[in-house]
Structure 1
């Protein structure tokens, strides 16, 4: 079963990264084929349904969040921020890319990857489009920043690790704060490299008000700078801030929160029923593309769990660790944690593999808490924006309109670099042992 599981995931990653088939088709058909090979027959139906049911809240949340933030973009909520950022950057792609990294690191404090992607990309994508910059660069920088910041206690990975290891947040998080800060510095450094490449590709951009003359030989971007705020700006701003606060405080379930927020925003901004329908239709394609992929991902995770492939894979990985390496298990887990995000979903890793790894570490005299800290340096954090097993990644690539394979190729090395930098700092500060 372990071999079958590894083959299934390897086949899926190959098909997606090589662009042989779309992600949706790979999610839906690859696991079915391997489950049939495993002899599960009629049991497959229930496994798939269980997986779909599990991702349904995520699908609802992402679907309505696309509609909500699409409405806010259409109503100009982010225009003042865009104008100020462009004035600050003064047509320098390097400054814009670095500003993207800093904004992402700040927005990601909400602890929700999907919300971070939606807020950051919807605010910055118009700038990239207007100036002719690469949306893949935007997606890459946002992914790197969100990945590092996903270590925070109210993020998903640390919460899962707490449950899996029976640990307190302070035990896991506090010792790796210096490592997380180092990771944030690394992200800004990488954004500088990306920005230099963008500056070399398109040059300095002349920004002028509409109607001004442009100098020849320069790439020109015309942006009308209006001093007046968009209609209903303050209402939309207060509603959006309230939404983000409610997301962080988890006042009500997130899917319900987005449905209610979108309904209020739609009613106030478009009182006419016909206009409401037109607004929904304008973003329906993006919503359908992302949501269908998420539900197809439910089939993949449902079969992976239901067939017990994931359990067999975890046991086989631990059994392959030689005795001489057992005492250095935290370092091994830290270095491998980011690539393992492509194989294990956060739930599968923290609830399935981490307990096995912690037990194995205990046998070698390693504190399970140290295994947990090591895992947080990559799995579900720096690796989650690249993993097809994480539904929120489809929010990022859907909004930026980039291919998952292209995103993986562009930033895998840099995301792995984030983990390596944080691992080095964690070793130096004693968060994980040598």
Structure 2
């Protein structure tokens, strides 16, 4: 019964947001409440929702202060030189711009943090995409795929860390054989970027432009996405802003303080350095309040969804049911089974639920067929390009907010590319021996 309710809830939720029958916030909140009532959990709904909100509260705080931090730096013009240099290199060619996006996003994503990756990549590249008339969903798709590969497979990224921890593995034993697959994943992203760039080049052609404040903001939507007001620019503070950003990134990687607190401190320092006038600081906060409020609200709504999903034990029921239906004849192909099923598993489940709840069950089942747990761990991260499309991923909600679209539209556009990227990564893993077929 719980399995049926859980699967039905996911299907109804996905249909409602992809068909635009409900907004993501409404669907994330109302759908689980309805199914919890149907399942007879009415008296516990409030507690489950509150538990879910408590779990996502740090993510909501992180996104709020990260948006404000990078928003102030964008207003101050810290990314202007990067855009100017990028324009000199790509010369208005959508193919070069798409490939440059993949390289930039993959580089930034080395720290494993989705929020940082999207804030820097989208902030730097969106004005260029809008100036040329390129589809912002291309930018969002390439950024998501880049992050899914770099964050999904590196030992300091969230999915790999959870897999290593839950199965008690050695990080080097997990990661070193996976390195060729990681590079293969980067090739998949670059190929996708090239293909999407070719599609855009065919649609809009190659546009020769020079970087000036005037021609970057001659479209209203560009001006809204990237405020080029001379009064806000702080070119003399460029190196100070860059030093502040690098310091924040170093502290982030070292884990010296909680990330939400780190970005709060960063935002306070950035606003004081660039806009010492209190009225200016207030204006900067208000200018980014709409985007921040939308993202934070979505995160809390996602917390309600996951709180009810976990609290009703629907997650456990779905996991156990799916594991039980894997036929014995596929035992020798268990790593491949785990790799393929990680795509739907991680789409409907949070990483915590999958890696700490489902993965140990899969590893135990695989051991009966003589499969090493480390192969199961490697296989489990290969579906991350699909996982990052889930509305339960906080950084993805930030991404769609920054490119001014909704999660349903983005999923419809990026779903096939995420599937293809995951399949490509799985093929690379098999060829390079990261996972075995027999």
**Fold match (TM-score > 0.5):** yes
Which of 403, 409, 412 aligns to 1:409? It is: 412
Name the counterpart of 1:282. 287
Does 1:202 pair with 2:207?
Answer: no
Higher mean C-alpha displacement, 79-88 vs 383-392: 383-392
Q: CA deviation at 1:157?
A: 0.4
Distance across 1 between alignment mates of 2:211 and 2:143 = 29
Contact 1:97 1:138 in 2 (8 A): yes
Which of 239, 243, 253 aligns to 1:248? It is: 253
Q: Secondary structure at the match of 1:392?
A: helix
Distance across 2 between alignment mates of 1:208 and 1:178 = 39
Going from structure 1 to structure 2, the CA distance change for 1:44 and 1:79 (only over 3 Å counts) comes to same
Distance across 2 between alignment mates of 1:34 and 1:274 = 47
Does 1:82 pair with 2:83?
Answer: yes
Note the 1:325-336 alignment, pairs <5 A. 325-336=330-341
Name the counterpart of 2:353. 348
Deviations 1:291-315 (A, max 9, x none): 0010011110101111111111111
Q: Secondary structure at the match of 2:298?
A: helix
Name the counterpart of 1:174. 176
Deviations 1:369-426 (A, max 9, x none): 2111101111xx3223201111111111111112212222222222222222221222
Q: CA deviation at 1:176?
A: 1.1
Name the counterpart of 1:218. none
Does 1:295 pair with 2:300?
Answer: yes
Distance across 2 between alignment mates of 1:165 and 1:244 = 29
Q: Considering fraction of residues, name the structure with more helix.
A: 2
Q: CA deviation at 1:186?
A: 1.0
Q: CA deviation at 1:209?
A: 6.1
Contact 1:339 1:416 in 2 (8 A): no
Q: Secondary structure at the match of 1:358?
A: helix
Contact 1:334 1:377 in 2 (8 A): yes
Does 1:374 pair with 2:359?
Answer: no
Name the counterpart of 1:68. 69
Distance across 2 between alignment mates of 1:282 and 1:229 = 17
Distance across 2 between alignment mates of 1:382 and 1:328 = 22
Q: CA deviation at 1:61?
A: 0.4
Which of 152, 155, 158 aligns to 1:156? It is: 158
Which of 223, 240, 244 aligns to 1:239? It is: 244
Deviations 1:160-213 (A, max 9, x none): 111210111112211111011001011111101111111111111121366999
Contact 1:6 1:313 in 2 (8 A): yes
CA-based RMSD:
1.9
After superposing on structure 2, the runs of 4+ consecutive aligned residues of structure 1 that deviate more than 6 Å are none
Q: Secondary structure at the match of 2:347?
A: coil
Q: Secondary structure at the match of 2:284?
A: helix
**Gaps (5+ residues) in structure 1?**
214-223
Distance across 2 between alignment mates of 1:87 and 1:211 = 15
Name the counterpart of 1:8. 9
Deviations 1:263-285 (A, max 9, x none): 11111111111111111000000
Name the counterpart of 1:183. 185
Contact 2:347 2:388 in 1 (8 A): no
Going from structure 1 to structure 2, the CA distance change for 1:251 and 1:330 (only over 3 Å counts) comes to same
Does 1:426 pair with 2:429?
Answer: yes
**Gaps (5+ residues) in structure 2?**
216-227
Higher mean C-alpha displacement, 240-249 vs 255-264: 240-249
Deviations 1:287-336 (A, max 9, x none): 00000010011110101111111111111001101110122111011122
Aligned residues: 421
Contact 2:76 2:234 in 1 (8 A): no
Distance across 2 between alignment mates of 1:75 and 1:118 = 15
Name the counterpart of 2:220. none
Q: CA deviation at 1:140?
A: 0.8
Deviations 1:48-105 (A, max 9, x none): 1000000000000001111111111111000000001001111111111110011111
Distance across 2 between alignment mates of 1:397 and 1:278 = 24
Distance across 2 between alignment mates of 1:177 and 1:359 = 25
Q: Secondary structure at the match of 1:176?
A: helix
Does 1:312 pair with 2:317?
Answer: yes
Q: Secondary structure at the match of 2:422?
A: helix
Distance across 2 between alignment mates of 1:119 and 1:153 = 22
Contact 1:384 1:393 in 2 (8 A): no
Distance across 1 between alignment mates of 2:389 and 2:211 = 38
Distance across 1 between alignment mates of 2:271 and 2:424 = 45
